[in-house]
Amino acid sequence: MDIQKEVKEIVKKNLPPETQITNVEMEGPEVAIYTRNPKAFFENENFVAKIAFELKKRVNIRTDKSLLSDEHYAKNLIKELVPETAGIKEIYFNPSFSEVVIEAIKPGLVIGKGGETSKEIILKTGWTPNILRSPTSESEILKGIRHHLHKYSSERKKILQETSKKIYRELPKNNGWVRLTALGGFREVGKSCMLIDTPETKVLCDVGVDVANQDQPYPYLEALRLPLDRLDAVVVSHAHLDHAGLVPLLFKMGYRGPVYCTVPTRDLMALLQFDYIDVLVKEGKEPPYTERDVKEMLKYCITREYREVTDIAPDMRITLHNAAHILGSSSVHFHIGQGAHNLVYSADIKFAFTRLFNNVDINYPRLETLIIESTYGGKDAVQQDRNLAEEQLIRILKETMHKEGNTLIPVFSVGRAQEIMLVIEEYYRKGMLDGKVYIDGMTREASAIHTAYPEYLRKGVQRRVLQNDSPFTSDLFQIADYKNRDKILEEKDAIIIASSGMLTGGPSVQYFQKMAENPNNSLIFVGYQGEGSLGNRLQKGLRKTPITDNGKTRELPINMRVETVEGFSGHSDRNQLVNYLRSLNPKPKRIIVNHGEKNTAIEFARYVSNKFRINATALRDLDAVRLK
Ligand SMILES: [Zn+2]
Ligand SMILES: [Zn+2]
């Protein structure tokens, strides 16, 4: 039966007449119920819980369109109802969702005690508030994304309706096989991508790019051998370019279907994709897609919270779990074919303490196959204790200042940058470090986005953001850009935090070229350096490199101090991966190893299979395995 009809019947059966339901609509995996009497739902809060339970879907209660008041009138009334201290930044209306978007510094005050204020808004204006938190410092990108989604809200509504038709289409009986095809990121780090398919459904998970790889930077999308409109969905584990860098390319190639991820992943991946285009253009290279494709992608993003079960195809359901790697990063649980198979893709995980995030999720309802990363899965890849790492970092910074040198810390603008900022900020606050700290590149924008989603941060940091004392917007951090780079380096005692993290492009490379010759300067690596990247070659002892200076190529001698501080990585080292496997509940029956250099991945798979007596293999790109 048609899903719309089926849902309507369930709604009719479970909600009493006083709720005055006028319409029921599907919006992607969610249900929107329109009522002429929203009050009935406030008086009996069980209604929503009950109907959501019956439908097994997220339910949105909306007021019937006839109750929506004039926008101008509603806007003024909202300003009256919400206390000034809420710090409302923007109010705008999305009629296709009967919603008013209210962006405020303190969303709690727009909601009110027990939801009183937002209920009043609904009763008096008809509009349902969708309350967003403003970042504690301006973020052009975030503002742009939110406006873009608003501008296209009626198109989004149509997209969601089309999506739900596909999710809930009728399936012929099938023989229930499940297959995984490795398209990128196997026996390597970079361009993560895989296809999960059944006789009826095809889902891509991650579509990354390998920025350190000149020969084969893209996943093997051509091996899909199917028109992109046959894809049911794309799922994105997290925003890093090696997982999400090429999602807009799919849209350039004609894909027009849903992209499932968390809200922070949506915003951060757009930020990194815009930056990726920018870096390539500045280097005179042709980007694989344009800003228009990123914006098209944004319209198709369906955001989910951690642990929210979501139907994405007639025979597939996903749940995103906290992966503790970067803001909004997730491990993806695929529930395939009415319980026929349960696959968990851990993606990039941190199984250890971090200042930024809550502990990684280890509990799953069911689990047969686990795909696990092995970035630091090698037997020697042991990360030092976090406290020792912090001490080592601070010691190098002080020694460099003592020599009147400057320090460059290349970072991924999302993840390591914020972790390092937290460490430095704390040492400053305690008076244990001085000097000037400059943030360059996308890091400032990325940090601002962190402050818009404090619920994804560990309690301590969350509290500071909520009290408007965000460590990321501390006065300590000064903004650097192409205009003041030379001046900063003349000043001495500067600590520069800049992307890219592996010196593959962007401001960190420019600082490096200006700083390398001076032996008093330091370069500190705090994150993973991919095979072939400049960062990796420097770690291996590179002492000179050709650079282009005013159109001429010359040899740049590298005299600066080059250090690596292990312990800040957002990835788990071998011991942490093993502890993760030990803690997983339930235990998988089969393990597939990916996201590690060739020898590391192979060796880690062998180690795990001996240790846990579980079938473990390091697939290669283009391998396909039958999971069921
Ligand atoms: Zn990552
Ligand atoms: Zn990764």
Residue 221 amino acid letter = L
Question: Is residue 550 over pLDDT 90?
Answer: no
Q: Is the peptide bond before 533 cis (omega within 30 degrees of 0)?
A: no
The C-alpha atoms of residue 88 and residue 96 are separated, in whole angstroms, by 23
Q: What is the pLDDT of residue 475?
A: 87
Q: What is the pLDDT of residue 101?
A: 98
- Residue 543 CB-density burial (10 A; 0-12 exposed, 13-18 middle, 19+ buried): exposed
The answer to whether 308 and 319 are in contact (CB under 8 A) is: yes
Return the ligand number nearest the Cα of 268: 1
The answer to whether 196 and 180 are in contact (CB under 8 A) is: yes
CA neighbor of 86 nearest in space, from 54, 52, 53, 111: 111
The C-alpha atoms of residue 340 and residue 441 are separated, in whole angstroms, by 46
- % of the chain surpassing 70 pLDDT: 100
Write out 190-236 in H/E/C secondary structure.
CCCEEEEECCCCEEEEEECCCCCCCCCCCCCHHHHCCCHHHCCEEEC
Q: Tell me, in angstroms, the distance from the centre of ligand 1 to residue 570's CA.
A: 7
The C-alpha atoms of residue 250 and residue 269 are separated, in whole angstroms, by 14
Identify the band that residue 110 occupies on the pLDDT scale cut at 50, 70 and 90.
very high
Helix pair 598-612, 574-583: axis angle to 10 deg: 40
pLDDT in tens, 126-142: 999 999 999 998 899 99
pTM of the model: 0.95
Average pLDDT over residues 61-67: 95
Q: Tell me, in angstroms, the distance from the centre of ligand 1 to residue 12's CA.
A: 45
pLDDT in tens, 394-420: 999 999 999 999 999 999 999 899 999
Average pLDDT over residues 108-122: 96
Q: Tell me, in angstroms, the distance from the centre of ligand 2 to residue 526's CA.
A: 15
The C-alpha atoms of residue 546 and residue 553 are separated, in whole angstroms, by 6
Q: What is the pLDDT of residue 354?
A: 87
Question: CA–CA distance from 237 to each of 136, 262, 311, 589 (Å)?
Answer: 26, 8, 16, 22
Q: Tell me, in angstroms, the distance from the centre of ligand 1 to residue 325's CA.
A: 7
Three-state DSSP class for residue 589: coil
CB under 5 Å of ion ligand 1: residues: 240, 348
Sign of CA dihedral 259, 260, 266, 271: negative
The C-alpha atoms of residue 372 and residue 459 are separated, in whole angstroms, by 27
pLDDT in tens, 275-315: 999 989 988 999 999 999 999 999 999 999 999 999 999 99
Q: CB under 8 Å to 278, separation ≥6 — which residues?
A: none
Which has more confidence, 244 or 225? 244
Identify the band that residue 4 occupies on the pLDDT scale cut at 50, 70 and 90.
confident
Residue 566 amino acid letter = E
Return the ligand number nearest the Cα of 184: 2
Question: Is residue 454 over pLDDT 70?
Answer: yes
Return the ligand number nearest the Cα of 265: 1
Return the ligand number nearest the Cα of 206: 2
Q: What is the pLDDT of residue 578?
A: 97
Average pLDDT score, the chain = 94
Q: Tell me, in angstroms, the distance from the centre of ligand 2 to residue 208's CA.
A: 9
Q: What is the pLDDT of residue 340?
A: 85
CA neighbor of 13 nearest in space, from 209, 5, 608: 5
Q: Is the peptide bond before 16 cis (omega within 30 degrees of 0)?
A: no
Residues paired with 564 in a beta bridge: 525
Question: Is residue 173 over pLDDT 80?
Answer: no
Return the ligand number nearest the Cα of 208: 2
Long-range contacts of 273-281 (CB under 8 A, 24+ apart): 273/241, 273/244, 273/245, 273/247, 273/248, 273/297, 274/141, 275/413, 275/441, 275/442, 275/499, 275/506, 276/209, 276/211, 276/241, 276/245, 279/500, 279/505, 279/506, 280/505
Return the ligand number nearest the Cα of 329: 1
Return the ligand number nearest the Cα of 242: 2
Average pLDDT over residues 355-380: 95
The C-alpha atoms of residue 364 and residue 592 are separated, in whole angstroms, by 17
pLDDT in tens, 472-502: 988 899 999 889 999 999 988 999 999 999 9
Give residue 246's Cα distance to chain centre.
Answer: 14
pLDDT in tens, 580-592: 999 999 999 999 9
Q: What is the pLDDT of residue 1?
A: 63
Q: Count CA atoms closer than 13 A to 482's CA, side-chain side.
A: 5
Q: Tell me, in angstroms, the distance from the centre of ligand 1 to residue 625's CA.
A: 24
Domains in the chain with CATH codes: 3-66 (3.30.300.230), 68-134 (3.30.300.20), 156-379+571-623 (3.60.15.10), 395-441+480-564 (3.40.50.10890)
The C-alpha atoms of residue 192 and residue 201 are separated, in whole angstroms, by 20
- Of 89-93, 100-104, 280-284, 559-563, least confident by mean pLDDT is 280-284
The C-alpha atoms of residue 493 and residue 482 are separated, in whole angstroms, by 19
Average pLDDT over residues 223-250: 96
